[in-house]
Amino acid sequence: MNETRRCQVLVVGAGPGGYVAAIRAGQLGLDTVVVEGDKAGGTCLIRGCIPSKAMIHAAERFEVLRNHSVEGGHMGISVSGTPEVDMGALVSWKDDIVDRLNKGVESLLKAAGADLIKGWATFTGPKSCTVKTSDGEVNIEAENIIIATGSSHIDLPFMPCDEEFIISSTGALDLDRLPKTVAIVGGGYIGLELGCALTKLGTEVTVVEGLDSVLAIMDKEIRRPLEMWLKKHKVTVHTNALARGAEVKGKGAARKVELTFEKDGGEQSIKVDKVLVTVGRSPNTKGWGLENMGVRMDASGRFIRIDRKCRTSVSGVYAIGDVAGEPMLAHKASAEGEMVAEIIAGHEREFDKVAVPAIVFTEPEIISVGLTPDEAKERGEQVIVGKFPLAANGRALSLEAEKTGGFIRVTARESDHVILGVQAVGTHIAELHSEFVLALEMGALLEDVAATVHAHPTMSEAFHESVLKTLGHAIHIS
């Protein structure tokens, strides 16, 4: 097969940005083709956000069972025997979820009228490419291009992942056996999310981080409960430590991998079953003919340069998601994809979000929306700040969500009480982010939230109370 397909919109990559763009373009009546070299859904659905959250949930369930199996049980509930983890069965359950969602995305694309072509696209010009499929080559010429190629795990050149002893996050989600010991290189959100899950499952975890703290993207006050949890659960954390290499030693079942790292001016090493490398992600800009499209890169040279409409330097060519810059988050990509489809259809849109939420699914969970107090001050704002502990919230107590020392913190402009940012940390706190984002996008004042009735008993009352605290009259703390 060697045919030429012409369309109004060609989307390259069917991840959370690309498939959303293709669905919306199809809904708007545009002749749309989306090309994907792997499975529809992209990294987030296939080997990232969704499977990792499934594993995190399974780890939470296992931890609960272990708590109930100790002498005397917990909450008046006891479990006889010792809970066990079957990693093969856990991974199979996770894969079932991924497969279901993958088929769902393909069905949605079909229902919207978007044509999914499975293969690898190589561009020969700004708006023409050749796609290698299992049935041969397809040439595609499009009026508009949406680049949504996403990002990939960063490999360390001196210790590349073999997915057996030195593994990436992808390998960590496909373990056939639970390792007794794991060293995680990189103390960012990916490494810590997986590290918390593995710790709950019973693995002895060590984290090696080059900066002076783990999760350095969050401020000290917000990450403190996480640091306390890591310490309480005997997770060894080495900060200001640089990985230097890893070597597999021993024979047969006794084989271990020795990780060497530099700390305090000297060299240290540990032997573990697996080394998990989570040092970040790199935009996918190579291997598919970007150089033939003529688009310009940004000042860093890593990302495709775009404007507030996601337009590149080439007319009719757009870039969205991880390939187009920070923050590299699935929900940002989806929002951009929907917007670009509407722009191509003639709608007047631009990406002018007040805040893009960031959530870390560690134990406890962490949310950051908008500005932190320090960031607001750096911008010259005079601010007022209020903080409310989950330990003073009835629903949090009934869910044992207060045990991790969590809280909600609100930052507002002192002069007019406009909410500038909300950060929160705590067990089961992630789902509250939507109220925080909505408050910022709507330009809410402290008084708007204070005057809103929040249902009792819910954890959302803690947001209401944090706003009241910012105003100086919280009810349930003095």
Q: Give the tens place of pLDDT for each residue, 361-414.
A: 999 999 999 999 999 999 999 999 999 999 999 999 999 888 889 999 999 999
Quick one: which H or E segment has residue 147?
strand 136-147
Pick among 3.40.190.170, 3.30.410.40, 3.50.50.60, 3.20.20.70: CATH of 166-279: 3.50.50.60
- Does residue 23 carry a pLDDT above 90? yes
Of 205, 259, 268, 211, nearest in space to 232 by CA: 205
- Does residue 293 carry a pLDDT above 90? yes
Of 10, 19, 175, 202, nearest in space to 110 by CA: 19
Quick one: which H or E segment has residue 173?
none
Q: Give the tens place of pLDDT for each residue, 119-165.
A: 999 999 999 999 999 888 999 999 999 999 999 999 999 999 999 99
Sketch the domain layout of the chain as residue ranges: 2-47+91-152+282-344, 166-279, 358-471
More confident position, 143 or 4: 143
* Predicted TM-score (pTM) of this structure: 0.94
Q: Rounded mean pLDDT of 187-201?
A: 96
In this structure, the dihedral spanned by the alpha carbons of residues 193, 205, 400 and 82, taken in order and rounded to 10 degrees, is: 120
2-47+91-152+282-344 is classed CATH 3.50.50.60: yes
* 358-471 topology per CATH: Enolase-like; domain 1 (3.30.390)
The catalytic site residues sit at 456
Q: Any idea which of 47-51, 214-218, 347-351 has the lowest mean pLDDT?
A: 47-51
Residue 475: band (very low, low, confident or very high) from pLDDT cuts 50, 70, 90: very high
Residue 1: band (very low, low, confident or very high) from pLDDT cuts 50, 70, 90: low
| Count of beta carbons in the 10 Å neighbourhood of residue 389 | 19
- Does residue 70 carry a pLDDT above 70? yes
Give residue for tokens 């001016």.
265
pLDDT score at 9: 98
Percent of the chain clearing pLDDT 70 (strictly above):
100
Q: Do 2-47+91-152+282-344 and 166-279 have matching folds?
A: yes
Which 3 state secondary structure label does DSSP give 175? coil
Q: C-alpha 111: how far from its chain's center?
A: 28
Query: What does pLDDT average to over the chain?
Result: 95
Of 417, 318, 219, nearest in space to 9 by CA: 318
C-alpha gyration radius of the chain: 24
